Amino acid sequence: MQGLYLVTPNWDDTPRLLAATELALAAGVALLQYRNKDAGPELRMEQGRALRALCRRHGVPFIVNDHVDLCLLLDADGVHLGGTDAEVAKVRALLGPGKIIGASCYGDMQRALDAQAAGASYVAFGGFYPSRVKQYAVTTQPAILDQARALMSVPYVVIGGMTPANAAPLAARGAHMVAAISSVYLADDPAAAVREFNGLYRTTEIRDAAA
Ligand SMILES: Cc1ncc(COP(=O)(O)OP(=O)(O)O)c(N)n1
Ligand SMILES: Cc1ncsc1CCOP(=O)(O)O
Ligand SMILES: [Mg+2]
């Protein structure tokens, strides 16, 4: 797992959401997360089902944010859990070993180690930079990635205000994936934005190969 982890915005306009997502997936996304904090159960089901179909067509794993029940109903590839969501160990027991479980760890290394021990497939650190869609009381510092590199065996993702420019030092510091909403969905050209994010990983791979 390496590259751009695309997360959806709170759009209720499903055709607009699907059109932008299709452009992004065609440009090359490592994982897609369906996150719509404003949607009710009916819209979540409609958008989730359509996005899952799109992901299957593009061979991209489909992750549901927060809603373990929706993950099960849609037979999604996994679920992303934060501090106020279900516990990783319980969800792992429910979903079995074959599903992807992501865990938000903010700037907390112990939380990441606990999530890994409880069966998380990846952990997410952040928010690192000011976000247009989410406020956080505490900003995560890039130095946590140095600890993660030394201590984690599952992949780690960075999130929060990511652009190709400000994500570069985090990718170079070992982040396996960069997660973003606005830099792709609010871009004039979402496909070009995806390609720019993926460029970070080509650079990292070239650097690592030369090391
Ligand atoms: C990849 C990724 N990282 C972090 C989050 C945030 O999860 P959470 O803290 O549960 O907050 P909400 O997204 O539910 O508002 C995420 N969704 N994805
Ligand atoms: C879900 C989430 N968790 C931390 S920041 C964030 C939002 C990321 O969106 P953006 O890439 O637009 O800052
Ligand atoms: Mg959550």
What does the pLDDT profile of the chain (211 residues) look like in tens digits? 789 999 999 999 999 999 999 999 999 999 999 999 999 999 999 999 999 999 999 999 999 999 999 999 999 999 999 999 999 999 999 999 999 999 999 999 999 999 999 999 999 999 999 999 999 999 999 999 999 999 999 999 999 999 999 999 999 999 999 999 999 999 999 999 999 999 998 776 776 777 6
Q: Is the CB of 104 under 6 A from ligand 1?
A: yes
Pocket test for ligand 2, best of 159, 163, 184 (most atoms within 8 A of CB): 159
Binding site as annotated, residues: 33-37, 65-66, 85, 104, 134, 161, 181-182
Assess whether the C-beta atom of 99 lies below 6 angstroms from ligand 1. Answer: no
Give kind and range of the element (H or E) at residue 159.
strand 156-159
| 87: phi then psi, degrees, rounded to nearest 5 | -75, 140
CA distance 169 to 144: 13
Q: Is residue 207 a contact partner of residue 158, using CB atoms and an 8 Å limit?
A: no
Kindly name the residue from 92, 134, 173, 195 that is annotated as catalytic: 134
Enter the tokens of residue 72. Answer: 């099960």
Specify whether 183 is catalytic: no
Instruction: State the residue range of the domain holding 173.
Output: 3-210
> What pLDDT sits at residue 202?
78
Q: Is 107 close to ligand 2, i.e. is its CB under 6 Å away?
A: no
User: Nearest CA to 66 among 104, 27, 13?
Assistant: 104
What's the Cα-to-Cα distance from 138 to each of 18, 19, 133, rounded to whole Å?
Answer: 33, 34, 15
Name which of 125, 115, 110 is nearest 179 in CA terms: 125
What pLDDT is recorded for position 208? 73
Sign of the four-CA dihedral 198, 130, 68, 122? positive
Assess: ipTM above 0.95. yes
The count of other CB atoms within 10 Å of the CB of residue 45 is 15
Residue 2, phi then psi, degrees to nearest 5: -150, 140
Cβ–ligand 1 contact at 204 (below 6 Å):
no
- Residue 126: which CATH number? 3.20.20.70
134 is catalytic: yes
Q: How many CA atoms lie within 13 A of 206 on its CB side?
A: 6
Number of compact structural domains in the chain: 1
Active site residue 104: yes
